[in-house]
Chains A and B, each alone.
Chain A
Amino acid sequence: MSGPPEGTIDAGVRRSRLGFVSRMREVLRASDTGDVMWDEVEETLIAGDVGASLALYIVGRARADVARGMVPEIAVRHELGALFARREPVPWPRKPAPDVPAVVLVIGVNGTGKTTTIAKLAHRFHTRGAKVLLAAGDTFRAAAIEQLQTWADRVGVPLVAHAAGADPSAVVYDALDAAVARGIDVVIVDTAGRLHTKSNLMEELAKIRRTVAKRLPDAQPEVLFVLDATTGQNGLSQAKAFHESAGLTGIALTKLDSTAKGGVAFAIERSLGVPVLFAGVGERVDHLLDFHPDAFLEALFA
């Protein structure tokens, strides 16, 4: 199996996380807690792609907390923590009945890492003993089916695919048929990357969603939005559009092994109430972590 030379990735993860941590800690533990410090807090948040308006909001609230006697570090942590959406304490993905497979639709704009995330999810469920089936719903991009097939072979799970150019809804329908027939536990559906401003493509997504509801009325599909952590403020506009078309139930934040912080996820969680569930931290199939807000904040300020 070919893959990029290994050995630097874990170091990269550590570096990225430590970079953010040390900066925020350093700033907040300054001896002078006046305007200069708060300007730097704001800058640190903006540099992490939290967004200018949200950064201003957080700083404003944290300063009010501090005026009421809170320590600055606790205040910022508290205000950041308040932005996270509520997490449901249920298993993921939802599987409403023993004979109904759980369905995960994986969606997002082009190049965010949907296919790689699918491989990682498949690996995770597969190694935990679940029967996994992949559906090659990206029938548009050249060689997308081959890419998913390669991953399916590596992970050791079956794939349902049609020819390039086929109707993705038809692929999904067939995959669900096959899943029911074979007693599959989890069906993971790949979809073509699409810019959220293309309404015909967003409608195609809504159709895929309807196809699932039609074939498996009892299924409660998980709709996983894959967001590249290097994305800036456009991430919010993306998430809103995808939420409107397909009803997001979770977010996978990918490429966190870069130096990017993925701060736009705060804005998304806050405005849509959709939680980040997974963090992609590298190119290997086991490079997918559960995302826990507490641990995330802990890492931010530890």
Chain B
Amino acid sequence: MFDVLSDRLRDVLGKLTGRGRVSEADVDLAMREVRLALLEADVNYKVVKDFVARVRERAIGAEVLENLNAGQQVIKIVHEELTALLSVGERGLRLQGSPSVIALVGLQGSGKTTSAAKLARHFVKQGRQPLLVAADPYRPAAVDQLVALGRSLDIPVHRAPAGTSVLDIAKGGLAEARRSGRDVVIVDTAGRLQVDQVLMEEIRGLAAAIKPAETLLVVDAMVGQEAVSVAQAFHAALPVSGLVLTKIDGDARGGAALSISAVTGVPVKFLGTGEKTDALEPFHPDRLAGRILGMGDVLTLVERAQETFDQKQAEQLATKLRKNAFTLEDFLEQMQQIKKMGPLGDVLGMIPGMGGMAKDAQKAVEGGELSRVEAIIRSMTADERRDPHVLNGSRRRRIARGSGTTLPDVNRVLKQFQEMRKLMRQMAGGGRRLPGLPFGRR
């Protein structure tokens, strides 16, 4: 992993704090780092060239704002320009026609079929009635895959007998949707190389016949420099109205999305964030800009925390804290909520500078640290959970036996609990709401 750009820029420009303006020489130094960072994030080299030239122009002579050093100032400009590039076009889905047709296209293995199922589920959540159409007759079992996904979501899938042409499959799907009153038709097409003239001609004909309201190009976040030529070819043949950037739950920075939006003007509309069918998220340009720069994704973290911790519970907790009535039961509940936020590694990965720690933390969790704490608390009686003061030596030994842990483990959890209670009381006093992580370093 390369260093976070902000750190590198701090090294290069950090000494400049206090001077009034960013000089040309400073900017050239900084642009070298920016170029490398963007290239390592798989942004297309031509896009990088233009981008760096533009940022350079803005940065030279830019006044260093109060409270910012020169490095931060350059980062700010870079972030703004990245966000602007990623903010092209309309990010919402434009549904028109009855039924509205959405076609998914892309290279082999980019995640079209999984994304089709995710979109269908997204529409059901919006109260619509989608129909999935399995229009990939080439990849073995591609149709079975979509049918299985449809079954698991209880969403109908239109399939045609082997030998049916792609065009007829899609037309059949539309007819079926009209017949059965489905209002959105999602057409899953076969993966194809943009240089394959026969298959590109096929998809062009398909789009001309079914006139999709949205044609979404599904792009793997891990794709490299070729992203631009792929997108250009699909855009020229179809055109493409939006991108679905998949596999963003890995550690790829997703520079490909920037390249594509910059060159074609096509906006990213969704992010695929996991293998499960609910792992589809709306796209936020500023967050991907931060990710490309290696700045972490604090906003997503905050959002996920807000989703997980409901307001009422938080208020109850605050009351308890004020009354000093925070018990081991609450401790357990807090822990389960944090678990609900997703794998700890994911959570930490969103915090700037914590990316490296994420893996270690994940290991700690999988090493059973959290479940050990859980087992210990679950081995206590209700009275013990409410009032840990009753926990004498023999009770503690019983708990250790009951939870399959050792006496030192139990003692450590109790100590952590006391520390957390103290910490939370302080935090409650200061008006903050997010609880700390309920386990400490060994």
* Same complex: yes
Q: At the interface with chain A, which of B125-133, B196-204, B395-403? A: B196-204
CB contact under 8 A between A147 and B109, given known A47-B225, A110-B247, A232-B224: no
Docked-complex contact A197 and B345, CB < 8 angstroms? yes
Docked-complex contact B225 and A4, CB < 8 angstroms? no
Give the CA-CA distance A257 to B110 in the complex, in Å: 16
| Residue of A8, A154, A238 most packed against chain B (CB within 10 A) | A8
Give the CA-CA distance A124 to B402 in the complex, in Å: 56
Q: Which residues of A contact B222 (CB under 8 A)?
A: 109, 228, 231-232, 234-235, 238
Q: Which residues of A contact B251 (CB under 8 A)?
A: 196-197, 234, 237
A268 to chain B, nearest CB (A): 13
Docked-complex contact B141 and A47, CB < 8 angstroms? no
Docked-complex contact A143 and B144, CB < 8 angstroms? yes
Flag whether A168 is at the interface (Cβ < 8 A): no
Q: Residue A8 contacts which of B35, B197, B255, B256 (CB distance < 8 angstroms)?
A: B197
Q: Which residues of A contact B149 (CB under 8 A)?
A: 142
Q: Residue A233 contacts which of B148, B224, B226, B359 (CB distance < 8 angstroms)?
A: B224
Flag whether A16 is at the interface (Cβ < 8 A): yes
Docked-complex contact B223 and A195, CB < 8 angstroms? no
Flag whether A141 is at the interface (Cβ < 8 A): yes
Docked-complex contact A112 and B198, CB < 8 angstroms? no
B435 to chain A, nearest CB (A): 25
Flag whether B67 is at the interface (Cβ < 8 A): no
Main secondary structure of the interface of B (DSSP, over half): loop
A:240-274 near B, CB below 8 Å: 255, 257-260, 263-264
Flag whether A127 is at the interface (Cβ < 8 A): no
Main secondary structure of the interface of A (DSSP, over half): loop
Q: Which residues of B contact A70 (CB under 8 A)?
A: none
Q: Which residues of B contact A5 (CB under 8 A)?
A: 198-199, 202
B:20-35 near A, CB below 8 Å: 35
B347 to chain A, nearest CB (A): 13
CB contact under 8 A between A109 and B247, given known A52-B39, A232-B225, A259-B229: yes
Flag whether A2 is at the interface (Cβ < 8 A): yes
CB contact under 8 A between A258 and B250, given known A110-B275, A151-B140, A235-B222: no
Flag whether B108 is at the interface (Cβ < 8 A): yes
Flag whether A12 is at the interface (Cβ < 8 A): yes
Interface size on B, residues (CB 8 A): 64
Docked-complex contact A257 and B250, CB < 8 angstroms? no
A162 to chain B, nearest CB (A): 16
CB contact under 8 A between A199 and B226, given known A5-B198, A109-B250: no
Q: Residue B366 contacts which of A7, A200, A264 (CB distance < 8 angstroms)?
A: A200
Flag whether A48 is at the interface (Cβ < 8 A): yes
Q: Which residues of B contact A228 (CB under 8 A)?
A: 109, 220, 222
Q: At the interface with chain A, which of B40-48, B320-328, B372-380, B386-394? A: B40-48
Give the CA-CA distance A200 to B345 in the complex, in Å: 11
Docked-complex contact B138 and A2, CB < 8 angstroms? yes
Chain A residue with Cβ nearest B35 = A52
Docked-complex contact A230 and B226, CB < 8 angstroms? yes
Docked-complex contact A195 and B110, CB < 8 angstroms? no
Chain B residue with Cβ nearest A140 = B275
Docked-complex contact B224 and A260, CB < 8 angstroms? yes
Q: Which residues of A contact B343 (CB under 8 A)?
A: 198
Give the CA-CA distance A301 to B263 in the complex, in Å: 30
Docked-complex contact B229 and A234, CB < 8 angstroms? no
Chain B residue with Cβ nearest A49 = B224
Docked-complex contact B224 and A146, CB < 8 angstroms? no
Flag whether B311 is at the interface (Cβ < 8 A): no
A155 to chain B, nearest CB (A): 11
Q: Residue B196 contacts which of A3, A8, A264 (CB distance < 8 angstroms)?
A: A8
Docked-complex contact B363 and A53, CB < 8 angstroms? no
Q: Residue B225 contacts which of A3, A48, A150, A238 (CB distance < 8 angstroms)?
A: A48
A217 to chain B, nearest CB (A): 27
Docked-complex contact B362 and A53, CB < 8 angstroms? no
CB contact under 8 A between A203 and B366, given known A4-B190, A4-B199, A5-B199: yes
Flag whether A174 is at the interface (Cβ < 8 A): no
A:151-199 near B, CB below 8 Å: 151, 154, 195-199
Flag whether B162 is at the interface (Cβ < 8 A): yes
Give the CA-CA distance A238 to B198 in the complex, in Å: 33
Flag whether A15 is at the interface (Cβ < 8 A): yes
Docked-complex contact B145 and A12, CB < 8 angstroms? no
Give the CA-CA distance A200 to B346 in the complex, in Å: 13
Q: Which residues of A contact B142 (CB under 8 A)?
A: 143, 147
| Residue of B42, B197, B230 most packed against chain A (CB within 10 A) | B42
Docked-complex contact A230 and B223, CB < 8 angstroms? yes
Docked-complex contact B255 and A232, CB < 8 angstroms? yes
Q: Residue B220 contacts which of A111, A142, A147, A151 (CB distance < 8 angstroms)?
A: A111
Q: Residue B110 contacts which of A43, A53, A111 (CB distance < 8 angstroms)?
A: A111
B27 to chain A, nearest CB (A): 19
Q: Which residues of A contact B53 (CB under 8 A)?
A: none
Flag whether A9 is at the interface (Cβ < 8 A): yes
Flag whether A80 is at the interface (Cβ < 8 A): no
Docked-complex contact A52 and B249, CB < 8 angstroms? no
Flag whether A46 is at the interface (Cβ < 8 A): yes
CB contact under 8 A between A53 and B220, given known A4-B198, A255-B108, A259-B226: no
Docked-complex contact B345 and A112, CB < 8 angstroms? no
Q: Residue B223 contacts which of A140, A151, A232 (CB distance < 8 angstroms)?
A: A232
A:110-127 near B, CB below 8 Å: 110-113
Please list the 10 inter-chain residue pairs (A to B) with the smallest Cβ-Cβ separation, ordered nearest first: A232-B224, A111-B109, A232-B42, A150-B140, A143-B145, A147-B141, A52-B39, A142-B148, A143-B144, A146-B141
10 additional contacts (CB under 8 A) given A4-B138, A232-B225? A5-B198, A8-B199, A51-B40, A110-B247, A141-B145, A233-B40, A234-B42, A237-B252, A263-B224, A283-B138
Could you jot down 20 A-B contacts, CB within 8 Å? A8-B199, A15-B195, A47-B45, A49-B42, A53-B40, A109-B250, A111-B247, A142-B152, A146-B141, A147-B145, A230-B107, A232-B42, A232-B222, A233-B41, A233-B224, A234-B251, A234-B252, A235-B224, A255-B107, A259-B226
Contacts from B to A (Cβ < 8 Å): 1-2, 35-36, 39-42, 45, 107-111, 137-142, 144-149, 152, 162-163, 190, 192-199, 202, 220-227, 229-230, 247, 249-253, 255-256, 275, 343, 345, 359, 362-363, 366
